């Protein structure tokens, strides 16, 4: 039987918000220490802000199809569904729509990049084979009542950036030191066994009641950054279009390479070792080309 979740109780702290923060300050104060932050107003300078609306996607990309929970939808159908979504009958939550593959011309709408010259996924010296299979840019469509209720950690030790370009989105975040309360799945430890986190069965998962995290409403025009290893899930209060960006920099580079090696080793030990060696060489070269972090 479900119980009222500690996640939806009042009193959970909000994520810190910053305005007019420099890229160097972001790296020094949040990225390298592994802390989340909301950057207010960042997207208001992007071409995407005010442009990415349900009408825009219906008009220009309405024919593109995407599968959500085994069902194929066109983007136009998805836009209609998110606008008609209700708590009782929520629209399917579309995620993992790869912008590089399906909307490549839209990448210029999200510039300048959040991490600037520290962003290794944007470094032209990075061989494509090292990041094959990594979704760098994605778009999310959701409506009232929709959610991603499964607490999880993002793949490949990547940091995460989510920017709200239309509507709002609610986030629940838990730092890595809360992992013992998340009940990681034995077969897939990046996902929690707590299958209904908004109304968990505390009889099965009693430690979950001890979890301490953050709750925040990401508003239109705002960007949230949270580091690798943070557990999270989302809930949507109305029609929503979000932009997601995977982030790779010096701090999470070694863990990313290890994940790359593990993935390649399932196919070929020789290829895995070659990819790992290539990654370390590329990392050393990128180290030399990146600016030093500001001290103050």
Give the span between the Cα atoms of 223 and 219, in whole angstroms: 8
Q: Is 67 in a helix, a strand, or coil?
A: strand
pLDDT per position as a tens digit, 195-227? 888 888 999 999 999 999 999 999 999 999 999
Q: Using 50, 70 and 90 to split pLDDT, how confident is the model at 111?
A: confident
> For residue 261, what pLDDT is reported?
86
Q: Quickly tell me which residue has 């992007």 as its tokens.
A: 46
pLDDT per position as a tens digit, 77-94? 999 999 999 999 999 998
pTM of the model: 0.93
Count of helices and strands (H, E) across the chain: 6, 15
Quickly list H helices, the chain.
23-26, 54-61, 75-84, 99-102, 253-265, 269-289
Average pLDDT over residues 31-44: 95
Residues with Cβ within 8 Å of 296's Cβ and at least 6 positions away in sequence, in order, are none
Domains of the chain: 6-249 (2.60.120.650)
Q: Using 50, 70 and 90 to split pLDDT, how confident is the model at 294?
A: confident
For the chain, give the percent of residues with pLDDT over 70. Answer: 96
Query: With left for phi above 0 and alpha for psi between -120 and 50, is residue 84 left, alpha or beta?
Result: alpha
CA–CA distance from 236 to each of 25, 40, 230 (Å)?
30, 19, 20
147-156, 182-191, 219-228: segment of lowest average pLDDT: 147-156
Whether the CB-CB separation of 5 and 199 falls below 8 Å is answered with yes
Query: Rounded to the nearest 5 degrees, what angle is found at the Cα of 244, between the Cα atoms of 50 and 129?
Result: 130
> For residue 95, what pLDDT is reported?
79
Mean pLDDT score across all residues of the chain: 92
Give the span between the Cα atoms of 45 and 275, in whole angstroms: 38
Q: Quickly tell me which residue has 């119980």 as its tokens.
A: 3
Give the span between the Cα atoms of 272 and 82, in whole angstroms: 42
């Amino acid at each position: 039987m479900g119980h009222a979740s500690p996640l939806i109780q009042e009193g959970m702290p909000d994520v810190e918000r910053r305005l007019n923060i420099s890229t160097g300050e972001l790296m020094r104060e949040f990225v390298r220490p592994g802390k989340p932050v909301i950057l207010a107003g960042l997207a208001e300078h992007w071409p995407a802000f005010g442009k990415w609306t349900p009408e825009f996607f219906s008009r220009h990309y309405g024919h593109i199809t995407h599968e959500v929970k085994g069902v194929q939808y066109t983007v136009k159908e998805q836009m209609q569904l998110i606008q008609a979504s209700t708590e009782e009958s929520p629209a399917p939550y579309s995620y993992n729509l790869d912008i590089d593959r399906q909307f490549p011309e839209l990448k210029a709408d999200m510039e300048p990049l959040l991490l600037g010259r520290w962003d290794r996924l944007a470094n032209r010296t990075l061989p494509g084979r090292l990041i094959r299979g990594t979704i760098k840019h994605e778009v999310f469509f959701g409506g009232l009542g929709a959610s991603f209720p499964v607490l999880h950690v993002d793949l490949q030790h990547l940091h995460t950036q989510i920017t709200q370009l239309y509507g709002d989105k609610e986030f629940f975040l838990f730092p890595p030191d809360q992992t013992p309360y998340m009940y990681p799945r034995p077969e897939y430890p990046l996902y929690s066994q707590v299958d209904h986190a908004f109304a968990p069965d505390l009889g099965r998962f009693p430690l979950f009641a001890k979890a301490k995290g953050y709750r925040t409403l990401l508003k239109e025009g705002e960007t949230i950054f949270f580091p690798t290893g943070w557990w999270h899930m989302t809930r949507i209060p109305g029609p929503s279009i979000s932009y997601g960006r995977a982030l790779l920099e010096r701090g999470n580079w070694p863990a990313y390479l290890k994940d790359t090696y593990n993935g390649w080793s399932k196919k070929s030990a020789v290829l895995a070792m070659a990819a790992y060696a290539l990654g370390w060489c590329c990392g050393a070269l990128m180290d030399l080309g990146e600016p030093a972090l500001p001290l103050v």
